[in-house]
Every structure is written in structure tokens, then in C-alpha cells.
Structure 1
Amino acid sequence: MGLTLVQSITYWLSEHPSIVNFRWSPTQSWGSTWSFVITAISSYVVLANTLNLVLALIKRRRPLPLGPIPAIHSLAMALISAVIFTGILLSAAAEIRETRWFWRRTRTTTPFQWLLCFPLGTRPSGRVFFWSYIFYLSRFLHLFRTFFAILRRRKLTFFRLFNHSILIFMSFLWLEFSQSFQVLAILLTTFLYSVVYGYRFWTAIGLPSACFPFVVNCQVVLLGCNLVCHFGVFLLHFLRGGCNGMGAWGFNSVLNVAILLLFLKFYLTRKKSTLEVAREDDASSMMLKDKDT
């Protein structure tokens, strides 16, 4: 029974004809045009700012009750991320297994090198690009967290809007230009997303949270891993005579650096404000003790 279950999962996540025969194209893939992605990102930014402005104009300061919606969203995102992680892992293993004979013949590629560096001329079709497409679509579901934050009357930051918008755009570029490194990037991202959203669901239903900034630490780990892998792609590009989609990779690298700098600024500002609040609390407690004495 266990073997049958594994075979069934393998079939539905890596061997189904829709996955094997997938092809990224404007006629076959929803949301695969430049006009769509630009319109979608612009609409997201406009809607988020409009909702935030409306709530500010009506002087709504208290959070709006959202009930179980954020918890359900977190659970759904954790499950979707876990499925994408499993699907692209099985699909990558199948692609490596089926093309290993060619690598042995040419002696130019290893499985790990392929994860970082697609050969020149790679087209966006087949198993791994199917899951890259699903990952691209799942990015739009992440946008709901922005609207949850606004309805909870949390500050709408430039970092949040920029980060979500750029992540959608980068996922689009991965498919549009068959960019190298995307398989490993999706594996890292979906694994950490399944953990992070699982943790958010855990805390949303009232279970105890970690004694340290769990989500922020996961984001730091992801950014660090991406930075190391980008360096690996850069080396392989020159050592192997070229990786596919390096123009998009260079643009993505610039955007990743921008996200990293904004994240560090946001993290340091948040840490500074937390320290200031702690100092104020300590000062207040000392004043109360002086009064008592």
C-alpha cells in the first residue's frame, strides 16, 4: 500500500501528461504575457494604497475583525508550498534521471550544476517549468497578506509593496527567459514558506509562538541561501561557457540586492524601535519603584 501511494504521488506530481507536456506560452498559459503581469502588479499597488487611504479618511483605527480568514489563508499557503516543493523535487529528479546519459556522454554537467545552470538553449517546457508556473501563480495568493495587514490597521510600508511586486515579476522572468537557478530557488523558497505559513497558522489558532522572531529568521536564511546560490551561478556561467537566461538572472540579482538592503533597513529599524520601547518600559518601572519607596 505504501509503495502504491508513493507511485500515485509520483505520477500526479511529475508524470502526469499535463505536467510532462507543459509549455509556457501566451496561448497555453494563463497570465503569461507582459501586459498581464504589469497590469496585475500595478492593480495590486493601487488597490492596496486605495484601501489604506480609505480607512485613513474614515479614521478607522481599530483593526477590522477578519475571523478565521488569515488562519485559513496561512494553512492553504503552507499546503500549496509543500505540494510545489514535492512536485518540483520529483520533477527535477525525473529530468536528471532521463538526461543523465547525455551528461555522462559530454562530461560537462552534474545534477547540482544543472540545478544552478541550465544549458544554453533551454526552453520553458516540461516538468520543472510546470511547477515554476504553479509557483508563479501562487505568488498572487501571497498578496492577500498585504490586505490583511491593512485591514488590521498595520502600517503599509514601501518594503511590503516592493517585495511582493518584485517577487511576482521575478517569477515571471524565470519562465519567460528559462532562467538558470530557478529550480533550486523554488525548492528553497517553498520549503521555507511551508514552514513559515505553517507557523503562522499555528499562532493564528492560538497556539504558543516562538520566543524569537521566527519568521524574520527564516527570511534571513532564505536571503543568505539565495546569495550563495547566485554566486554559484555566476561562477558556473564563466566556467561552463554560459548559462541560459543570464540577462534575466542579472536583473534578478539587482532586484534581490535591493530586497536585501530594504529588508536589512526594515529589520534594523524594527529592532531599534523594539529596544527603545524596552528602555521606556524599564524607565517607567524604575519610576514606579521610586514612587513606591
Structure 2
Amino acid sequence: MRLSITQSTKYWLSEHPSIVNFRWSPTESWGSTWSFLFSAIAIYIIAAAILHLMVSLTLRTNRRVPLGPIPAIHSLAMAMASVVIFVGILLSTAAEIRDTRWFWRRTKTTTAFQWLLCFPLGTRPSGRVFFWSYIFYLSRFLHLLRTFFTVLKHRKLTFFTLFNQSILLFMSFLWLEFSQSFQILAILSTTLLYSVVYGYRFWTAIGFPSACFPFVVSCQVVLLGCNLVCHFGVLALHLLKGGGCNGIGAWGLNSMLNAVILLLFLKFYLKMYLSKRKGDSSSEFKGSSRHSNSGLEKRDSKAS
């Protein structure tokens, strides 16, 4: 029974003909053109800005739009989708390593880890791994919905939110368009983190207690830091290998954008930490002043 379930999972997630024969092309893949990408990003930014303006003009300051269970359902759906993508690309990676290991001798790739970091030159966006990269790209559009939930529920829209979501969508497009190296590890780490983060959001949305520290922001900072470290590994392999890595130009742009997002996250995290420290110190000062005033009142009452 367990063997049949395992075989079925492997078939549907890594051996199905639609996965094995996948090819990224404008004629076969939805959303695979540059015009579609830039139009989608522009529509997302304009729609979010218009919604924020409408909410700010029509609702009072303390009013919020009730969303009911929609955010919880979205978080659960994203957590499940992330788990499926993680398992799918993990099984597909194992299958690709099994089927293409013989070809590595011609490309000076000696280990599977090198292949994960550095695709050989001439790699085409087709096959199992790029199918799941495409599914990950499509899932980025579902992530955009969270921006609208935030606007409706918290009346909040920041430049960082729009920039971060747009850049992540743009980078996932680059992975496919240029068969960029390192994308397998990036998708594995991202979907693993998203399954945890969205599971946590679903947990808190249905009424369970939240963590005593900024859990989501901390996870995102850890992810960006790990990705940045792996980017140095890609650069080292590109310089040391004779042929270099495929999609190195897109990788360079990706690295720069990752660094910018990491700096913005660290700035936000530091600002939040300092404001919390300031709030704690002010509350302690108020508490101590109230305590000293009450002590003086007690001594005055005793003296009288």
C-alpha cells in the first residue's frame, strides 16, 4: 500500500507526460511573454493603489473591511500549494539527476550539488524541473492577493510591499526565460519557508495564539540571507568552471535585487525592533513614575 502511494506520487509529480515534456515558450505557456509580465505588474500596482485610495476616502479611520474567512482560506491554499511544489520539484530534481548524470562529463559538472547551483551552458527551459519552476511562477500571482487583503483589512499599503511582490514575480520569470542557475535551490528553500509561513498565518487566522516575536519577518530575513550565501557559491562555480554557468546575466540581476530586498527587510526589522525597544522603555518609565508617585502619596498620607 505504501509502495503504491509512493509510486503514484512520483508519477503524478515527476513522471507524468505533461511534466516530462514541458517546454517554456510563448505559444505553449500562459504568461510567458515580456509584455504579459510588465502588464501584470503594472495592473497589480495600479489596482492596489486605487483600492487603497478608495478605502482611505470612503471609510473612516477606525473602520475596516470585514473579510471573514477569506484570508485564512488563502493562507491554507498557499501553504498546500507550497508543499506540493516543494515535493514536486524535489522528486523532479532527483529524476533529472538520475537521467542526466551521464551528460555531466561533457560540461565539467562532477556532483549533483554543482548542478543544483550551476546549470551547464546551453540548458533549455524544458523538462521536469522547469515545469515546477513554471508552477512556482504562476503561484506568485496568488501571492499578490495578500496585498489587497492587507489594504482592505489594515488600510495599509507601502512601497516595500509593492516593490517586493513585483520583484519576486519578475525574478521567477527570469528563472524560466534564461534557464537561470540556482533556481532549484531557491524554489526548494522558498516553498519550504512559504509552507511554514502560510501555515502559521492560517494558524493565527483561525484564532490560535501568535508567536512572541515577528515570526514571518524573521523567516523571510533568514531565507534572503541563505539565498545570498548560495549566490556566492554560484559565482565561485562560474569563475572556477571552464564553461561557466547558464543564465549568469539574469543571475547577476537576481543577486542584486535579492540584496536590495534583504537590505529593505533588515531596515524594516531594525526599525520595528527599535520602536519596540522605545515603547518598552517608555512604558517602564511611566510605570516607574507611577510607582514613585504612589510611594510619595503613601508617605504623605502617613505623615498627615
The bucket for the TM-score relative to the shorter chain is over 0.9
Q: CA 1:107–1:50 in 2, change beyond 3 Å: closer, same or farther? A: closer
Q: How many residues align?
A: 293
Equivalent-residue separation in structure 2 for 1:134 and 1:176 (angstroms)? 14
Matched, 1:252 2:254: yes
Equivalence map 1:44-193=2 (5 Å): 44-61=44-61, 62-103=63-104, 108-193=109-194
Name stretches of at least 5 consecutive residues in structure 2 with no aligned partner.
Answer: 296-304
Q: What TM-score, normalized by structure 1, do the two folds share?
A: 0.96
Matched, 1:5 2:5: yes
Q: Report the Cα offset of residue 106 of structure 1.
A: 6.4
Equivalent-residue separation in structure 1 for 2:9 and 2:19 (angstroms)? 13
SS of aligned partner of 1:152:
helix
**Larger gyration radius, structure 1 or structure 2:** 2
Name stretches of at least 5 consecutive residues in structure 1 with no aligned partner.
Answer: none
Equivalent-residue separation in structure 1 for 2:59 and 2:104 (angstroms)? 64
Q: CA 1:237–1:194 in 2, change beyond 3 Å: closer, same or farther? A: same
Q: Report the Cα offset of residue 284 of structure 1.
A: 2.7
**2:55–2:155 Cα contact (<8 Å) kept:** no
**2:75–2:202 Cα contact (<8 Å) kept:** yes
Alignment-mate amino acid for residue 46 of structure 2 = V
Q: Which segment is superposed worse, 207-216 or 22-31?
A: 207-216
CA-to-aligned-CA distance 1:132-159 (integer Å, 9 cap, x gap): 0000000011111111111112431111
CA-to-aligned-CA distance 1:42-73 (integer Å, 9 cap, x gap): 11111111111111122432221111111111
Q: Which segment is superposed worse, 123-132 or 60-69?
A: 60-69
CA-to-aligned-CA distance 1:72-115 (integer Å, 9 cap, x gap): 11110000000000000000000000112233576633100000
**1:23–1:124 Cα contact (<8 Å) kept:** yes
Q: Report the Cα offset of residue 185 of structure 1.
A: 0.4
**1:159–1:266 Cα contact (<8 Å) kept:** no
Match of 2:39 in 1: 39
Query: Percent identity between the aligned chains?
Result: 73
Q: What TM-score, normalized by structure 2, do the two folds share?
A: 0.93
Measured on the aligned residues, the alpha-carbon RMSD in Å equals 1.4
Equivalence map 1:194-233=2 (5 Å): 194-233=195-234
Q: Which segment is superposed worse, 177-186 or 275-284?
A: 275-284
CA-to-aligned-CA distance 1:229-258 (integer Å, 9 cap, x gap): 100000111111210001101111111111
Q: CA 1:162–1:36 in 2, change beyond 3 Å: closer, same or farther? A: same
CA-to-aligned-CA distance 1:203-243 (integer Å, 9 cap, x gap): 11111222222212211210111011100000111111210
